[in-house]
Amino acid sequence: MPEKFIDIHCHKDSPSVDIISVRNLFPSEKTVAPGFYSAGLHPWYLNADTMPEDLEKIRSMVKDKRAVAVGECGLDRLTETPFTLQEDAFSAQIKIAEECGKPLIIHAVRTYSEIISAKKKMKSAIPWIIHGFNGNVQIAEQLVSNNFYLSFGPAIMDSSARLAKILSELPEELLFLETDEGHSSIQDLYRAAAKIRKTDIPRLRDVIMCNFKNCFRIDIR
């Protein structure tokens, strides 16, 4: 029996029994049952006045066994949120992830050097996953050399030679796929990724399931 499709970052529940998804939740949202979820403070929506309370909500939410990751969280140079506030929120969520021993799902926009530096500075032992990766080859190489996972989303459907090269050469043990807020199904993304990597879908399902179990420390039978 083939492995299920894994969608490590989405904003709506999947009705299919053939898909294991990780629903992204903000502190204002209620947890969903019975599926997996991640919880974090997105850099776009930070509020200095409510951040201490919001961080406590995240800390509480990720204690649930259905919570498999912290995030999405991260740094973004293109948002109006003050960068120092973003850094404070990101550092706090790194600590929360370290406390609970769960991976980080990271939003990164023109901040890869800062995020790599943060990982080195924290000497973090948990997995760090760049969600919706859409950077260049040099950035991908730096991330891989620092043991980041790269998760690819709907952008791989756009016939980008740059992304195709990165996806085709990425070590398979660092690969994830996600639907995020796009209109493509996770099955569509697997088909596109399999074609780019010159493999078949059953093999890709095996690879990503193995990564999911190893990274998220989940025993799926």
* Homologous superfamily of domain range 5-216: Metal-dependent hydrolases (3.20.20.140)
Query: Tokens representing 71?
Result: 């995030």
218 has a pLDDT exceeding 90: no
pLDDT (tens digit, 9 = 90+) per residue, 25-66?
998 887 666 789 999 999 999 999 999 999 999 999 999 999
131 has a pLDDT exceeding 80: yes
Q: How much is the average pLDDT of 82-97?
A: 98
CA 94 from centroid of its chain's CA atoms:
14
Alpha carbon dihedral 33, 72, 43, 76, in 10-degree steps, equals -160
Of all helices (H) and strands (E), which one includes residue 40? Answer: none
Query: Tokens representing 50?
Result: 């409510």
Assess contact for 72 and 42: CB atoms under 8 A.
Answer: yes
pLDDT (tens digit, 9 = 90+) per residue, 161-193?
999 999 999 999 999 999 998 889 999 999 999
220 has a pLDDT exceeding 90: no
Q: How much is the average pLDDT of 82-94?
A: 98
Q: Where are the domains of the chain?
A: 5-216
- Residue 66 CA to residue 62 CA, distance in Å, equals 8
User: What band does 1 get if pLDDT is binned at 50, 70 and 90?
Assistant: low
Q: Looking at residue 221, what is its pLDDT?
A: 65
Sheet holding 128-130, edge to edge: 5-10, 19-25, 36-39, 67-76, 104-109, 128-130, 149-152, 175-177
159 has a pLDDT exceeding 90: no
User: Considering the chain, what percentage of its residues have pLDDT values greater than 70?
Assistant: 97
Q: Looking at residue 198, what is its pLDDT?
A: 98
Q: Which 3 state secondary structure label does DSSP give 99?
A: helix
Residue 36 Cα distances to 12, 87, 167, 217, angstroms: 12, 27, 26, 13
Q: How much is the average pLDDT of 110-132?
A: 96
- Residue 120 CA to residue 102 CA, distance in Å, equals 17
Q: Poorest-confidence range of 11-20, 71-80, 88-97?
A: 11-20
